[in-house]
Amino acid sequence: MQDIELLHEGLALMGLGMGFVFVFLTVLVITTTLMSLTLRRFAPEPAKPASGSTRPPAPRQEDEELMVVIGAALHRYRQRHRR
């Protein structure tokens, strides 16, 4: 009889522990959701870019030279390591 009582107590303790964790996680999710909604309501909107142009600036001469050097290095590497 004692083994069955011990098993019942263990199952009750397991149910209590799992219930506590479930309630805690539920409260945590609700709290973070409410905080997120509150911050979205009171947070300022992100600033828009001042210039109307969305085009990137033209590449500089140094960038073009660098691309030529990298291209030449790749070409030379591929010539030496052909199979």
Better pLDDT: 64 or 20: 20
**pTM higher than 0.85:** no
pLDDT per residue over 8-51, tens digit each? 999 999 999 999 999 999 999 999 999 999 998 888 777 777 76
| Both structure tokens of 74 | 């790749």
Query: Both ends of the chain: CA-CA distance in Å?
Result: 79
| DSSP, residue by residue, 7-59 | HHHHHHHHHHHHHHHHHHHHHHHHHHHHHHHHHHHHSPPPPPPSSS--PPPPP
Give pLDDT, residue 36: 93
Query: Is the per-residue pLDDT at 53 higher than 80?
Result: no
Give pLDDT, residue 56: 64
64 in the Ramachandran plot: left (φ > 0), alpha (ψ -120 to 50) or beta? Answer: alpha
Neighbours of 2 (CB within 10 A): 6
